[in-house]
Structure 1
Amino acid sequence: MCARPQRRQLIRDGFVVDVYENGHNLRHLFLYTDMLLCARLTSAGRQAQYRFCWYLPLVGLKLLWAAEHLPSSEYQVKISKTRAKMYQLNQALQQHTKGGKVSVSRAVDRLRRKLEECEIWLLTNTPSFTLDLHSTSGKSHTIRLFSLYDLNEWKEAIEKQSGNCIETVPPDLLSVTGSCIKLRMTQQPPLHCVQSNESAHICGSLYVMVHSACGLQNLSSAYVCAEVDGFEFYDRRKQTCLSAFCATPQWDEELVLQVDGAQQLFLVIVSQYENGTQDDIEGRAIINLDTENMLKKWKKFTCSLGQVDVTLSIKYMPHPLEPPSTTPLVQEPVFCVPIGKVAMQESVLVPHIVRSCVEEVERRGLNEEGIYRISGASSEIQALRHAFNTNYREAVSKLRTVDVNAVSGTLKLYFRELPLPLIPSEQFKQLADALDIADPYLRADSMLTLLQALPDVNRSLSHTHTHTHTHTHTLVGVTNNSATLPPPHPTSMQINPLWFSFNKTKLTMTCTSTSKRSMLPNLPHSHWLLLSTSAYAPPGRPPYTSLSFPPPDFYFDP
């Protein structure tokens, strides 16, 4: 019961950013047994004291969290310049305090004050995660937390205390605010320049390879967010892409963090359910960074994040850090870029756009007739194209709301706009010739040899799992109607695109006109190879290429 004022106790406190209509400011938030109190720390002479800002009773309090959108390009430039300035101040401070000697105390104090000002500005202005607080009285407030881990801690504490609180009485706000100075457990914002411990200084690159997770209670798409402490010269947060819709997500994705002064790694796993309303934080964990165990070598282990176990590997490579750029880092585009370059940028073998689109089609498009033949709305496809080029997270969110034919259309557009063929031109002719080999076993052996000779990224795409064999009748790979240009010869056909479906024991090619069957390579069940000659016309040549195949009309039926 929270009915008696004398039983009011402080549960938790800390610094947050109070977001309001005309701006935002650093504030101190206090969680009591019956209410949330937000106050502003001031100094009256040498005496620190708090001034009341707002309060909300915990009874019936509703919470909603979200990731903030990227700010304007001008604001991103300001953030980048502040990080660069903070880096220079820290370098100058290290020079003054080198060897444990302080050469000029006033200069050192001045540098520390400037460094602290930069850190406070970044804490207050760098986009992070917001928590909306809605009271039954109709009052609402929004606070910004510095990390997803911090947000989850506050959210859990507020929800737990709100569930325990049955009723409340109007507090004496003047006396409660006045007592904050004595009750507070957090004395200052989380500034690394104040908390820095040179003996535990970690400077270099931290590699986090997120493999898989198990223990999710429901089917969902999930991602893992990795955060580090230390100076914010660089982004201190990286996260994996969304997994496939399942209970045992698999990522095998490498996250690289540039760190200076980091001592801990914070992990949070988040699920997105089919309704797409609110992301659910499944669990969190802290890992103390032990340089001896992970120095220049991978350390693989399983970490418990609540009820979810995440398997990951960590490696630390010490090296001097380059000064942060004064211009903001922008996401590299993926359309009209060689597929090998995209895979290298993302540190994967199958680009995120391919995997995301294929998994979304698998999730809700397998029963759609002609899923890769019927085009979606052009406006939705172009919106997805822009999102994948600028903000991958936004693109994945859009995938779940647009028509599924727009998803498949985006995937087709991606392959169509590749500047280089998925199957290199020198090997495509050999692959086409191999289809004409009469002996089925020799044909299978020849094609398998050609596929294995493809570059790593191209070959990996041939093994991208797309659709189960029970639904392949919905995929019309090549038909006379799929060509945008008429064939120049009755025995010629346009490939746009061509899907090869590989059965465990055979691949059967059914010709609609002759019922002739051919054997193709023996590759794993329900793996596909996408060949799109329409996408791969070299500069100065028409966008579609005609190849001679025996039947003018066919599709593949495993």
Structure 2
Amino acid sequence: MLRTATLSQRAEERACFSAMDVYQEAVQYLESQNIPVSAAVAEEADVLEEDVFPEEAVSCFLSPLNTESVDFPDTPTTCSKEEWLERRLTVLKGILESEEIYLRELDTLLMPMKALRASAGTSQPVLSSQQVQTVFYQVPELRDVHQTFYTGLKARLSAYDQTEISTGNETEIRCRGFELVVGDLFQKMVSQIGLYGGFIENYVKAVEVVRKCTHSDPRFRTLAESMMSNNGTDKARTTYTFEALLYKPLDRVTKTTLVLQDLLKTTPTEHRDYTALQEALRLSRSFLSGVNESSQSKREVTLSRGMRRQLMRDGFVVDVSEGERSLRHLFLYTDLLLCTRFKHANRGKQDQYRFCWYLPLAGLKLRWVADKERPPETNARLHNIRTKMYVLRQQLLQQLRQNPKTSRSLAARSQKKLEQMELMLLTHLIAYRLELHSPSGKSHALLFSSLYELEEWRQAIHKLTTTNIETVPPDLLTLTSSCVKLRMTQQPPLHSTNAGLNEESLCGTLSVAIDSAVGLQEPACVYVCVEVDGFKFYDQQTQTHSSVLSLNPHWDQELSFQVDGAQNLRVLCVSQSNGQDDTVLGKNTVKLDSKTLNKRWKKQTLQLGQVELTLSLKYCPHPLGPPSSTVQQPPIFGVPIETVAKQEGVLVPHVVRCCVEEVERRGMDEVGIYRISGTTSEISMLKAAFNTNLREAVTKLRSAEVNAVSGVLKLYFRELPEPLIPTELFQSLTRSLDIQDQNPRLVSMLSLLQSCPDANRHTFLYLLHHLQRVSERQHINKMSLLNLATVFGPSLLRPPVAGQGHLGPTVDISQEVVVQVQVVFSYLQCNNLPEAQLSLPHDSDTEDEATHI
């Protein structure tokens, strides 16, 4: 293989070309594509940068990448250490400048993405949603990786320059040269180089879409042939073609090895960066070599329909076999799933993989279920690990704040412990199981702590199983041994590996208010699952209760997270069917920005597949205490309604709404509904469930006998420590009943109702509207307004108790019942009852702050 040129050699070669040479090359390329070049454009040759590339550049990725096959560079011996460090600084500044240009190019490429995505939902789209996905595949992720790298490198170089200016002593400057540490930044960036694998795999498809739409749609042609980018601080602008910008990541990834070589050559062996840069160079070379090998394997293994076997996805999962849980590296190929055991090699040797099992995709059946509740001893063990992780991280942060020059060996040991404990959590903190069943009778189960991650794997596998590809029996030894070079994921998804003192991540309380959804194709019981990332000291996932069967589900449910290091919020909408497996209808990710989130609610609309979900976010930053054991939901029965409403963030408690919805779903034609009692044991079971876990309670409510559901609602009002209609209104309502004229009587009673606390008033109005709807079916259920008032009156209104601050006359027991029934009956007869407000508004920010994602 020919050795590729170094960056400095390439720079010298490029300097040999004049601006006109570059322009002529661009013109020739455009003409080869049958794109006319006008004379007016030719006159602007002096302002055009090299923004197109020869046709051979496109085809080079149909064959193996041109990677440099060299050993790690030897350290030069002809220069002094001062000269090394000076050259090293020059290389670093050149890398920074190159990164800045690359980021501007990626930003230019991404600039039209939102507009194109928005137009995809219109009647005249420029690109379809699938085409937008294809064209911009992995580009936002690549941009984020390089932005993080650029920001970190710029900050360290700036800090070094400031020290150099303030320190006049030449000896101190040389010492500072050894203090300039950037190896971790390169290592972190290269550890994510696997993202380029997906981009490379998708590149040809993306170019095909761009070319096709450029020729067929004048609107896209205008965009694709004149993409403008500012050149940094000056006002000059560079014109690119869309296709040229798509090529930039390909060009960039091939330069990574060369950049690392140049930097390593100018880094003394005793420098703290040397080992990290060696590892980064090894990973970079391994990735490019893996892409080459992948290209070779595509040509060598051809499946049915002319398709070639290729790696589609890989990552770390928990595999369960004979009751044992083990962390495994899973590889998804075009026609099969390969499960391997990663074996980390000692320094200087290559990592290896050991074969565990494989399943052909043909006929593979998938099923996911929520894992069974963990036993108490497992919860106790997990809590113990979380507590140790929290203490260890707090100690490490304190050391770094007090002494930023804390011993690297001490920090490394603490970091290693954090990673080991997080790995234990990753293996045992399981919530979901993905079952794989092959027609041959073989079955395997993969465990996940994240429903979002499980769904990504399920979608990727399911998409391939629908193509009915025949499996070519693999050479398992060869396939497994090639995993080291083919892998796109380098390490398990451990937050502690890459987490530092990131001021942009969230630390405090994140509240998520799930409002409602639209867009369902048919009525369904739906719930929303919400996940956050960051350190796993605290629970990172929770769910709403399941909605009643509806096309437009409402939850008005507030979820709360204690977060540390959180940067992303993942939201899934799941349909729950009786007797069938749950189905994920859609998912989306929200970037959590500490600069835009605050203590006021911020409304957002998320597109989850075909479902449009409305939610609100607010964030309160504060120091976090040690993780507590499983948080118990405060009880709701026998608790003042204002307290329950406040802790749920609503005006009408969920127990009331859920019971009412369930009665209206299947109890409106039940004879004697609310009059005939349900089974005492079932009512007690539902009460206990509502007192401990709302989501589980609603699930049980769906299958409970409907009279037990109505019994739970009556029991809730009966056990309120203070009645729904405040006791102090009893006498005033009694006097209102004496008003003979109905209209003035109702006006007086409605006026008294306005003086009730908000939660009491809105819950009472919500119940009244429900009971009126029940009475509309009285020809079937035999429950008139008077019958309903007789059932609910004693529970909703009670006279004051003598000797407890009450100075008025006592009420006879017979008169008491009459007043209770007549008050509720009068309210039920009102035809213009105010509408009940179910929850507090969560969109208190101005309208222009509401966002659509």
- 1:70-89 equivalences in 2 (<5 Å): 70-89=373-392
Residue 385 of structure 1 corresponds to which residue in structure 2?
687
Indicate whether 1:344 and 2:646 are aligned.
Answer: yes
Would the aligned equivalents of 1:448 and 1:522 in 2 still touch at CA under 8 Å? Answer: no
* 3-state SS, counterpart of residue 479 of structure 2: helix
- 1:516-555 equivalences in 2 (<5 Å): 520=830, 522-524=832-834
Partner of residue 484 from structure 2, selected from 173, 177, 181: 181
Looking at structure 2, the residues matched to 75 and 498 of structure 1 have their Cα atoms a distance apart, in angstroms, of: 56
Residue 722 of structure 2 corresponds to which residue in structure 1?
420
Partner of residue 104 from structure 1, selected from 407, 412, 416: 407
Partner of residue 568 from structure 2, selected from 253, 264, 277: 264
Task: Flag the 1:346–1:21 CA change in 2: closer, same or farther, 3 A.
Answer: farther
Looking at structure 1, the residues matched to 561 and 675 of structure 2 have their Cα atoms a distance apart, in angstroms, of: 42
Partner of residue 234 from structure 1, selected from 528, 538, 556: 538
* 3-state SS, counterpart of residue 613 of structure 2: strand
Would the aligned equivalents of 2:763 and 2:836 in 1 still touch at CA under 8 Å? Answer: no
Looking at structure 2, the residues matched to 403 and 161 of structure 1 have their Cα atoms a distance apart, in angstroms, of: 43
What is the identity, as a one-letter code, of the residue corresponding to 2:788?
A: G
Q: Which moved more, 1:404-413 or 1:20-29?
A: 20-29
1:309-340 alpha-carbon deviations (Å, 9 max, x no partner): 12222233322222222x32122222233322
Residue 36 of structure 1 corresponds to which residue in structure 2?
337
- 1:281-430 equivalences in 2 (<5 Å): 281-325=584-628, 327-430=629-732
Looking at structure 2, the residues matched to 123 and 390 of structure 1 have their Cα atoms a distance apart, in angstroms, of: 27
Task: Flag the 1:526–1:82 CA change in 2: closer, same or farther, 3 A.
Answer: closer
Q: In angstroms, what is the RMSD of aligned CA positions?
A: 3.1
Task: Flag the 1:146–1:84 CA change in 2: closer, same or farther, 3 A.
Answer: same
Indicate whether 1:277 and 2:587 are aligned.
Answer: no
Residue 471 of structure 1 corresponds to which residue in structure 2?
777
Looking at structure 2, the residues matched to 480 and 20 of structure 1 have their Cα atoms a distance apart, in angstroms, of: 56
Partner of residue 453 from structure 1, selected from 743, 749, 755: 755
Query: Deviation of residue 425 (structure 1)?
Result: 2.1
Indicate whether 1:216 and 2:520 are aligned.
Answer: yes
TM-score (norm 2): 0.56
What is the identity, as a one-letter code, of the residue corresponding to 2:630?
A: P
* 3-state SS, counterpart of residue 548 of structure 2: coil
Query: Deviation of residue 446 (structure 1)?
Result: 1.9
What is the identity, as a one-letter code, of the residue corresponding to 2:331?
A: F
* 3-state SS, counterpart of residue 293 of structure 1: coil
Query: Deviation of residue 361 (structure 1)?
Result: 1.0
Residue 251 of structure 1 corresponds to which residue in structure 2?
555
* 3-state SS, counterpart of residue 24 of structure 1: strand
1:480-515 alpha-carbon deviations (Å, 9 max, x no partner): 99999xxx987774899999478xxx843xxxxxxx
Residue 313 of structure 2 corresponds to which residue in structure 1?
12
Higher-Rg structure is: 2
1:331-359 alpha-carbon deviations (Å, 9 max, x no partner): 22222333222222222222222211111
What is the identity, as a one-letter code, of the residue corresponding to 1:205?
A: T
- 1:133-148 equivalences in 2 (<5 Å): 133-148=436-451
Would the aligned equivalents of 1:4 and 1:169 in 2 still touch at CA under 8 Å? Answer: no
1:516-552 alpha-carbon deviations (Å, 9 max, x no partner): xxxx574147999xxxxxxxxxxxxxxxxxxxxxxxx
Which structure is richer in relative contact order (CA contacts within 8 A, separation 6 or more)?
1
Would the aligned equivalents of 1:2 and 1:165 in 2 still touch at CA under 8 Å? Answer: no
* 3-state SS, counterpart of residue 437 of structure 1: coil
Would the aligned equivalents of 1:212 and 1:249 in 2 still touch at CA under 8 Å? Answer: yes
TM-score (norm 1): 0.83
Looking at structure 2, the residues matched to 96 and 243 of structure 1 have their Cα atoms a distance apart, in angstroms, of: 48
Partner of residue 61 from structure 1, selected from 346, 357, 364: 364
Looking at structure 2, the residues matched to 422 and 89 of structure 1 have their Cα atoms a distance apart, in angstroms, of: 49
Would the aligned equivalents of 1:134 and 1:140 in 2 still touch at CA under 8 Å? Answer: yes
Task: Flag the 1:499–1:122 CA change in 2: closer, same or farther, 3 A.
Answer: farther
Indicate whether 1:152 and 2:455 are aligned.
Answer: yes
Query: Deviation of residue 111 (structure 1)?
Result: 0.8
Would the aligned equivalents of 2:332 and 2:461 in 1 still touch at CA under 8 Å? Answer: yes
Query: Deviation of residue 162 (structure 1)?
Result: 0.6
Query: Deviation of residue 148 (structure 1)?
Result: 1.6
Would the aligned equivalents of 2:794 and 2:821 in 1 still touch at CA under 8 Å? Answer: no
Looking at structure 2, the residues matched to 167 and 494 of structure 1 have their Cα atoms a distance apart, in angstroms, of: 78
Task: Flag the 1:34–1:371 CA change in 2: closer, same or farther, 3 A.
Answer: same
Q: Which ranges in structure 1 are unaligned for 5 or more consecutive residues?
A: 509-519, 529-558
Would the aligned equivalents of 2:645 and 2:651 in 1 still touch at CA under 8 Å? Answer: yes
Task: Flag the 1:500–1:51 CA change in 2: closer, same or farther, 3 A.
Answer: farther
Task: Flag the 1:501–1:263 CA change in 2: closer, same or farther, 3 A.
Answer: farther
Partner of residue 25 from structure 1, selected from 323, 326, 329: 326
Task: Flag the 1:320–1:483 CA change in 2: closer, same or farther, 3 A.
Answer: closer
What is the identity, as a one-letter code, of the residue corresponding to 1:381?
A: I
Residue 92 of structure 1 corresponds to which residue in structure 2?
395
Task: Flag the 1:2–1:317 CA change in 2: closer, same or farther, 3 A.
Answer: same
Query: Deviation of residue 472 (structure 1)?
Result: 5.1
Larger helix proportion, structure 1 or 2? 2
Looking at structure 1, the residues matched to 331 and 531 of structure 2 have their Cα atoms a distance apart, in angstroms, of: 24
Query: Deviation of residue 143 (structure 1)?
Result: 1.3
* 3-state SS, counterpart of residue 251 of structure 1: strand
Query: Deviation of residue 29 (structure 1)?
Result: 1.6
Query: Deviation of residue 285 (structure 1)?
Result: 0.9
* 3-state SS, counterpart of residue 321 of structure 1: coil
Task: Flag the 1:333–1:127 CA change in 2: closer, same or farther, 3 A.
Answer: farther
Q: Which moved more, 1:257-266 or 1:434-443?
A: 434-443
* 3-state SS, counterpart of residue 7 of structure 1: coil
